[in-house]
Amino acid sequence: MMSVKQFLSTTMVCAAVTYQPAQGQDATLFPSLRDYSNEAIRLHGLAALFPDRVLFEQPQLEIHSESRVAARVEDLPRAIKYIRLYRLNEAKYVLAEFQTHSALILDLRFLKSNYTAVDTLSAFATAKQAKTLATVGTVPADLSISGETSSTVRDFPAIVLCNRETAGPFEAVLHQLQAAGAIIAVGESTAGRTGFYTKASANAWILCGEVRPDSDTSLVGVGFEPRIQLESDAKENYLSYHLYEAGTDILQLLGNEDSSSDSDQASEADSGIIEPDRILQRGVDIISALQILQQQTEL
């Protein structure tokens, strides 16, 4: 059985043999080959075989946030706490405050971070166990991959909202938490930005290492898959972010007609244009269902 390393070496050799500079008829059939060096052809071939492992744009997360705070907290019906995260490394104290709150929604749809936050996120575990991430290849020396066992545990899973904008090494921790039943994720698969790259040429970067939830599970380019999957388009993602940031009452994003506004006229005007946040609504519905089940078991 040929190893991955041997396969990659063979692929590069084959590419070099197959795509020699075009001559004669080949130049007529494939004129674009003249625009590439052998190295460029090999890299593009590898990129086609292994998407997201060879990149032609610098792999850099745009983690800038316009928010002045690291996180915002809102009260929702049924004693639900909603936390929208902007900067993961700065939000640890906010998260710690509500770590044991039974009805909790963490909105990570607008979060990009270069941190694993393994200590912070592992605090939401529903069992006392240490969390350790796996690494493959070369990763930054300061990357945190181990979290201490939480002194307290949650009775119910937290709801985590995510989509393709959710990006960073912390995706591996989310995968672990959902596999352990500590969270229920809702939305779309995350971005799969769990890899680290080295520059191969003037315009190419090759994967040199990655962080994984376990040694056998790679999230590069694939991402963490939520248990409750809801597709959303660019318009929905834009509105779910900007309506709230512009000051829209979060109850209006839930389709709650009793939400307050500055005036009755403003409320009537807004109700015709504000589209409910479907992913947030589903998160609230899940918590409501869990609360009803708990009440029934107590009877």
What are the backbone dihedrals phi and psi of residue 161, each rounded to the nearest 5 degrees, phi first?
-95, 130
Residue 265's pLDDT is what?
42
Within the chain, all domains assigned CATH 3.90.226.10 are found at: 71-229
Identify the bridge partners of residue 159 per DSSP, sorted by sequence position.
105, 184
Q: Which residue has the higher pLDDT, 43 or 252?
A: 252
- 10-69: pLDDT as tens digits: 444 343 333 344 344 456 566 666 777 777 888 888 888 888 888 888 888 777 667 788
Provide the pLDDT confidence category of residue 126 given band limits of 50, 70 and 90. confident
**Please, what sign has the CA dihedral across residues 86, 90, 94, 96?**
positive
pLDDT of residue 70: 92
Alpha carbon distances (Å) from 257 to 191, 236, 265, 271, 272: 34, 20, 14, 8, 11
Do 195 and 140 contact (CB within 8 A), yes or no? no
- Of 95, 157, 98, nearest to 125 by C-alpha is 157
Task: Return the sign of the alpha-carbon dihedral for residues 220, 57, 205, 169.
Answer: negative
Q: Which amino acid is at 47?
A: A
Rounded to whole angstroms, how far apart are CA atoms 232 and 122? 28
Here the tokens at position 30 are 């494939």
Q: What is the DSSP letter of 275?
A: P
Residue 187: what pLDDT?
Answer: 97
Give the whole-angstrom CA distance, residue 146 versus residue 166. Answer: 21
The residue type of 34 is R
| Alpha carbons 217 and 36: distance in angstroms, whole number | 35
Q: Read off the tokens for 292.
A: 């009803």
Of 135, 152, 153, the residue nearest 144 (C-alpha): 135
Show contacts of 251-257: CB within 8 Å, 24+ apart.
Answer: 251/76, 251/77, 253/277, 253/280, 254/76, 254/77, 254/280, 254/281, 254/284, 255/281, 256/77
Token duo for residue 130: 């240490």
Contacts of 54 by beta carbon, 8 Å cutoff, 6+ apart:
43, 44, 46, 47, 200, 204, 205, 206, 207
H/E element, 144: none
Q: What topology is assigned to 71-229 in CATH?
A: 2-enoyl-CoA Hydratase; Chain A, domain 1 (3.90.226)
Cβ–Cβ < 8 Å for 45, 252: no
Give the rounded percent of residues in the chain with a pLDDT score beyond 90. 49
pLDDT digits (tens, 9 = 90+) for 258-284: 544 444 444 443 445 688 999 999 999
At 272 the pLDDT is 56
Single-letter code of the amino acid located at 205 = W
* Pair type for strands 158-162 and 104-107: parallel
Structure token pair of residue 134 = 């796996």
